[in-house]
Structure 1
Amino acid sequence: MIPLAALPTPALLVDLDRLERNINAMAGAFAAAGVALRPHIKTSKCWEVARRQLAAGATGFTCSTAAEVAWLQGRGVADLLWAHIPIGPRKVAFVVDAIAQHGGGLTVSLDSVEAARPLSAAATAAGVTVPFVLEVDTGHARLGVQPPEAVATATAIAALPGLRLRGVLTHEGHVSALADRTALERAGAAAGTLLVGVADALRSAGFPVEMVSVGSTPGATSAPFVAGVTEGRPGTYVYFDANQTRLGSCTPDQCAQTVLARVASVQRPGRPIIDAGVKAMSSDAIAAAGAVGVLLNRPGVTFTEANEEHGFLHDTGAVPLVVGDLVRLVPNHACGTTNMWSHLYAVRGALAVERWEISARY
C-alpha cells in the first residue's frame, strides 16, 4: 500500500469503493428488468474491472477494437460483440480467424452490403459462419441504416453466404447533446422504441431476431428498459466522469476515475500550473463547456486550459494553492482518458492498494 502523496504525478487513480458501487448498481438495475448487460470494455481496458463486471452478472462485453477482442478472447471471455464495422482485409481476416480459433463467440456489426461482401467471401473460404447485428441509426447519425431501409439491407446481407443475422443494434449517442435530463430520457426511450420497431419488422419478414441491443451511459436509464430491448451496452458507468455529471447520469460522488497531479508553479497569482495536461486527461470535451476536467474538493478552482504536460487552473478559492499541493481531477471523458495510460492505481481512501494494467491500447 502506498500513500497517495508518495505516488509519482501525474497518476491515474480509480476509487475502488465507487467503482464497485457503480458496477453493482447498474448490474442490479438491469437484472431487475430482465435485460442483459453487455458493458463496453473501452472505458476501462482493465481486467480487474472486467472481472468485477462479470462477477456482477455481465453476459459478455462490447468491444471497439480488434485488440480488445483479442485480449478478452485470450482471457476466456466467450461472448463478445465488436460494435465496429470490420472494414479492410486485416480486420476481415481477424474476424474470420477469431471465430475459427475460438469456436464462435464473436458477433460483428454491419450496416451495408458493401461492407458485408468481403467478410462473406473470407468466411466462406474459411468454412466459418460470422454472426452479425444490423446497426440502425436511431438519431445519432454516425453508423447505421435508416430504419425504413433495415429490412431490405438485412435481406441483402443475409443472402450472402457465411453470414448469420442475430439481431439489431444502435448507439443512442445523440442523447448526449441534450442538457435537460427529462428530454434526454425521452430521447433514449424513443431510440429504444425505434429499434424495437425495426426488430419487429425484421421478424415479420421472416428473420429470427434474438438481439435488440442499445448502448450508452446517458441512455442507460431509458433505452434498455423499453419493452422488447434485450440488452444494453453502457461503458462509462463504471467510472462515470465530468461529462456524465453534467448530463445528470451521475452525481459527483459517483466519479471513480481521477488524475492525481501536483501544483508545479504559482508565478502568476490566481493561475496555478499543474503537472498534468491533455496527455493525462485527454482533450475530449463533449459536454464540458470550456473545462478540461473538474477538481475534487477544491471549491473556487477550475481547470480551464491545458497543454500537453501542463494544466492551467483558475484559483479563486479561499485558500490559494501553493507549489507542491496535490489535486485530484475528474476527467471530462473517462474512456478517452483511459487510452492515454498504461496502468492505474486502485485506491481506497488515501492509499493506493494495487496497480492495475491497462490493456489493448492503440
Structure 2
Amino acid sequence: MTADLPPGGLPLDELPTPALLIDRARMEANLTAVAGSIGAAGVALRPHFKTSKCLAVARRQLAHGAIGFTCATPAEVTLLQDAGVEDVLWAHQPVGPAKVAFAVRAMARGGLTVALDSTEAAEPLSEAAAGAGVTVPFVLEVDTGLHRAGVDPDRAVRTAAALTALPALEMRGVLTHEGHLAAHGSDRAGLEAAGALAGRTLVQIAKALRAEGHECPLVSVGSTPGATSAPFAEGVTEARPGTYVYFDANQVGLGSAQIDQCAQTVLTRVVSAQRPGTVIVDAGIKAMSSDSIATAGTLGIVCDAAGAPLDGLAFTGGNEEHGYITGPGTSGLRVGDPLRIVPNHACGTTNMWSALHFVDGDRAVERHPIEARH
C-alpha cells in the first residue's frame, strides 16, 4: 500500500506499480449519463456496491441520485449501514447459521431487504427473525434467463404464496439479474432485445402476484449490459447496474461502452524484455481479474501511460506478480516503460485491491480504501 498522497497529489510516474487508478472525470461522466437516462424513465437507481467497494465512490453515486445500494456480502451490508446508508438490498440468499444470524441483526438496524427464491432458504431465516421479534422485508428473485439463483417464472406465484405464509417475512416485490445478456457478445441488437424481454417478464410476474393479492411495489432489474433496455419496460421501478461506474473491457466488447469511458485502469511497468514478441509487466493475476466469462478474451486492454489503447499488444496471461504482454507492438517497449491496463472485469479487479487512486489528468490526487473484500 502506498503512503497518503501529498497536497496537490502525485505524478503518476512517481506511483509505485502496480497501482489501481480511477479516472475521476470519466467516472463522473458515467455517473451523470446513467443516472440521467434511468431517472428520465422514472426508474430509481440502486447501484451494485461490489463494483467499487469504496465509500468515496458510493458517496458520488448518492450525490447523483442513487436511492441506496445493492450488496452481495454481509461485509458490504455492514460497511454501508455503518456509513449511514438507509436503504440496502442484499441480493443474495442468506443461507447458513452465520448468514441467518447476521441478517437478523442487520434487520434490527433497519433499511435492509433480502432476496429469496425458496422456502428452503427462507424457513431458517423466518424462524430466527420471529424469535428475535423482527420482520424481514424480501424480494422474490426470478430467473429471467441467467439460470443462476431465482425461481422459474412459472413457479413465481406459487413460491411467493409459500414464502408469505411464513412468519416474520414481508414481500416487497420481485428482482432479477439479467446477466445472461452477456451471452449475446457483440450482437448488440440481440442483447437489447433480450434485456427488454427480461424487463417485461418481470413486470408480468409482478402483475400476476398483485392479482393474487400480494403487495409488489418493487420491480427491480439489474445489470450494466441491460441498463439501456430492461429498466425501460413499462412497470419496472428500479435498476441495479454496477459496472457502469467504471465500465471495463468486457463492457466495451458488449457495446455497453467505448474505451474512452473506461475509468478503471491498472498502472504497470515493463520489468523484463528478454524474448522477442513478449514483454513482462509487474501486474499479474493478483492485480487483475481473470474472469473467464469476459468477452475481452484477455486480461485487459493495453493502453499507454495516458490511457489511450495501443495497437499490436495483448495482455495474454499472467502469473501471480507477472503479466505477459505479447504482439508486434512489444518491439517498441523497453524496461521501465509505463502502461495502463483496462481490466476485463472491473468488479473482480476491485476485489484484488485494498486501495484506489482517483486520477485527474496525469496526477493521482486522492487515495481511498477498498473495503469489505473477501
Alignment TM class, shorter chain as reference: over 0.9
The residue number in structure 2 matching 1:45 is 53
1:1-362 to structure 2, matched below 5 A, reads: 1-100=9-108, 102=109, 104-179=110-185, 180-288=187-295, 290-296=297-303, 297=308, 298-317=310-329, 320-362=332-374
Deviation at 1:27, TM superposition (A): 0.6
Show CA shifts across 1:297-341 (max 9, x none). 322111111111111111312861000000000000000000000
CA contact (8 A) 1:281 1:292 kept: yes
Question: 2-side partners of 1:5 and 1:187: how far apart?
Answer: 44
Question: 2-side partners of 1:290 and 1:251: how far apart?
Answer: 17
The residue number in structure 1 matching 2:3 is none
TM-score (norm 1): 0.98
Deviation at 1:55, TM superposition (A): 0.6
Question: 2-side partners of 1:221 and 1:349: how far apart?
Answer: 29
CA contact (8 A) 1:342 1:358 kept: yes
Question: 1-side partners of 2:101 and 2:296: how far apart?
Answer: 42
Deviation at 1:95, TM superposition (A): 0.9
Deviation at 1:159, TM superposition (A): 0.4
Question: 2-side partners of 1:214 and 1:53: how far apart?
Answer: 18
Partner SS state of residue 168, structure 1:
strand
Deviation at 1:141, TM superposition (A): 0.1
Question: 2-side partners of 1:191 and 1:278: how far apart?
Answer: 34
Question: 2-side partners of 1:164 and 1:138: how far apart?
Answer: 23
The letter for the 2-side match of 1:69 is: V
Question: 2-side partners of 1:157 and 1:326: how far apart?
Answer: 55
Question: 2-side partners of 1:349 and 1:299: how far apart?
Answer: 22
Deviation at 1:287, TM superposition (A): 3.0
Partner SS state of residue 118, structure 1:
helix
The letter for the 2-side match of 1:121 is: E
Q: Report percent identity of matched pairs.
A: 65
Question: 1-side partners of 2:266 and 2:111: how far apart?
Answer: 35
Partner SS state of residue 355, structure 1:
strand
Q: How many residues align?
A: 360
CA contact (8 A) 1:260 1:328 kept: yes
Deviation at 1:286, TM superposition (A): 1.7
Partner SS state of residue 287, structure 2:
helix
CA contact (8 A) 1:177 1:287 kept: no
Instruction: In structure 1, list runs of 5 or more residues that go unmatched.
Output: none
Question: 1-side partners of 2:325 and 2:302: how far apart?
Answer: 10
Deviation at 1:289, TM superposition (A): 5.0
Show CA shifts across 1:135-193 (max 9, x none). 00000000011111111100011000100000000000000010200000000000011
The letter for the 1-side match of 2:60 is: R
Instruction: In structure 2, list runs of 5 or more residues that go unmatched.
Output: 1-8
Partner SS state of residue 284, structure 1:
coil
Partner SS state of residue 278, structure 1:
coil
Partner SS state of residue 98, structure 1:
helix
The letter for the 1-side match of 2:340 is: R
The residue number in structure 1 matching 2:5 is none
Partner SS state of residue 299, structure 1:
coil
The letter for the 2-side match of 1:178 is: H
Question: 2-side partners of 1:241 and 1:289: how far apart?
Answer: 9
